[in-house]
Amino acid sequence: MTTLATLTRSLFADLGVPPDVLENGALVVRSPVDGSVIAQVATISAEGATDAIDTAAVAARAWRDVPAPGRGELVRLLGEELRASREQLGRLVSIEAGKSPSEGLGEVQEMIDICDFAVGLSRQLHGLTIATERPGHRMMETWHPLGVVGIISAFNFPVAVWAWNAALALVCGNAIVWKPSEKTPLTAIAAHAVLDRALVRFRQGGGAAPEGLSHLLIGDRSVGEVLVAHPKVPLVSATGSTSMGRIVGQKLAGRFARAILELGGNNAAIVSGAADLDLALRGVAFAAMGTAGQRCTTLRRLFVHTSVYDAFLTRLKSAYASVSVGNPLDGHLVGPLIDGGAFERMQAALDAARAEGGRVQGGERVTVDGCEGGYYVRPALVEMAAQRGPVLEETFAPILYVMAYDELDEAITLQNAVAQGLSSAIFTLDLREAETFVSHSGSDCGIANVNIGTSGAEIGGAFGGEKETGGGRESGSDSWRGYMRRATNTINYSTALPLAQGVSFDV
Ligand code: UN1
């Protein structure tokens, strides 16, 4: 029988990464698929992390001298190498994060997409020219690299979120230092090796990439603390829980460094009386049960109009009862939770929901043959009379709380009445409802969709959310500005020196 450890070794060999990195380290890596140990990898000390950041700071000074389209060439090669490694890296994501093959490949596709985007961006890092009030003057803004960008990523998108940050930070002229989740170091090692291959090709082609341009720091919280505290890191982009982000954000603010925070979501959808219910059913099912409820964009709250409540719930309940739960490597739609801790937190939330009078369907552990050490659950559907208790919190598991509503205003108020503000959706064919939802008086989230679910965003849009989600934006649109510093330049090409606001100061 092929064990997941053996499979991991052969994927590493196929990816051209010496498999000896999988042995003899202090960090034990388990696959959520069956709970088995798949590797033991080395970790870096706090001193090692400090040295890496110092080296990155030196590299950043050289990298910023490479013209941006030249930097784009490195990211273009990264995209090429990712295309060549798509199958193996996708498989590794499935093994280490417990995703279906389609979702594992989708994650690598998201990396490729952001590389393509960043290559184009490398010729579009533009500022404005602004009208000045003074004759013979010109005012403009220029955008410059920041230096070292720290990246902290979570287990659920172990490599795509790094790629969002890395591709943008690199074309923007920065060095990068990455602290991945301790739960998913293997995909990080593999993805970083892919970048190393792109760097070799870049240099072979005459590109001037300095040594130490990118670092991978595998370690515990103390390593993350070094990254957040180091004075040579002007920006940290952190993805994870709100409690982590609260600490990281405050520490960065304490030294006036920047933060891009992408934290918890407690995402809601509204199914209106005017919804296409077939479409709504599919949208809700993927958003709520896909990735076993472990996306920051996962649908966690559902408001259904009373006129369609019974009809929709009947269909939703049967989708929940029949969705295939099992080994994701065999193509089951709902794979495992990341570990036993996640299972316990899910059960605690369901107990709290029952205590609030919630009617729970599903949520129980499912035994999967050959994967007895994995934490599989049947996704839970919980009918609640009111939005309270665990409904107000993000539990990183497949729990969907369902509530009925009468008026759209009431549903929008409830949808906005949580601390988090990442993603949201409405299912309706009524133009007035749809436009209201995406207007200023509608959803207060960073993502507000119509007739699609809350999860599965494309890279072309800015990704992130408001309130306790942290306010950061990553990925598409003009998120690149977060990775650069802006200078306003006023140039006097006249022989006079008129002062702004008409101030006179004649000496
Ligand atoms: C995350 O869960 O941290 O929109 C990111 C989505 C994915 C990214 C999720 N493209 O669901």
Total Cβ atoms within 10 A of residue 435: 11
State the closest ligand 1 atom to the C-alpha of 110, by its place in the atom list counted from 1.
10
What CATH code would you report for 267-460? 3.40.309.10
Complex ipTM more than 0.90, yes or no: yes
The vertex-362 CA angle with 359 and 364, nearest 5°, equals 120
pLDDT surpasses 90 at 24: no
Query: CA 194, CA 15: separation in Å to the nearest integer?
Result: 8
Mind giving me the DSSP string for 287-352? HHHGGGG-STT-EEEEEEETTTHHHHHHHHHHHHHHS-BS-GGGT-SB--BSSHHHHHHHHHHHHH
pTM of the entire predicted model: 0.97
The rounded Å distance from CA 457 to ligand 1 centre is 7
Q: What is the mean pLDDT of residues 96-102?
A: 96
Q: What is the mean pLDDT of residues 488-494?
A: 98
Q: How confident is the model at residue 2 (pLDDT cuts 50, 70, 90)?
A: confident
What CATH code would you report for 4-263+470-488? 3.40.605.10
Q: What is the mean pLDDT of residues 394-406?
A: 98
Domain boundaries, the chain: 4-263+470-488, 267-460
Strand 376-377 and strand 365-366: the pairing is antiparallel
Q: pLDDT by residue (tens digit) across 242-293?
A: 999 999 999 999 999 999 999 999 999 999 999 999 999 999 999 999 999 9
Query: CA 368, CA 336: separation in Å to the nearest integer?
Result: 10
pLDDT surpasses 60 at 205: yes
Residue 41: both structure tokens together? 């990898």
State the closest ligand 1 atom to the C-alpha of 297, by its place in the atom list counted from 1.
11
Q: What is the mean pLDDT of the chain?
A: 97
User: Are 417 and 427 a contacting pair, CB within 8 Å?
Assistant: no
Place of tokens 């002007």: 234
State the closest ligand 1 atom to the C-alpha of 239, by its place in the atom list counted from 1.
3
In the prediction, which pLDDT does 21 show? 93
In the prediction, which pLDDT does 229 show? 98
Q: pLDDT by residue (tens digit) across 129-161?
A: 999 999 999 999 999 999 999 999 999 999 999
Query: CA 462, CA 482: separation in Å to the nearest integer?
Result: 11
pLDDT surpasses 70 at 170: yes
Single-letter code of the amino acid located at 173: G
Based on the residue annotation, tell me whether 262 is a catalytic residue of this protein.
yes
pLDDT surpasses 70 at 1: no
pLDDT surpasses 60 at 458: yes
| Per-residue CA distances from 280 to 50, 215, 428 (Å) | 50, 43, 9
Q: pLDDT by residue (tens digit) across 30-61?
A: 999 999 999 999 999 999 999 999 999 999 99
Query: CA 65, CA 386: separation in Å to the nearest integer?
Result: 58
Query: CA 363, CA 430: separation in Å to the nearest integer?
Result: 34
The rounded Å distance from CA 313 to ligand 1 centre is 26
Ligand 1 is surrounded, with C-beta below 6 A, by 110, 156-157, 161, 239, 295-297, 455-457
* Residue 435 φ then ψ, to 5°: -70, -35
Q: pLDDT by residue (tens digit) across 310-344?
A: 999 999 999 999 999 999 999 999 999 999 999 99
pLDDT surpasses 70 at 399: yes
| Per-residue CA distances from 216 to 29, 157, 252, 386, 489 (Å) | 17, 16, 20, 45, 36
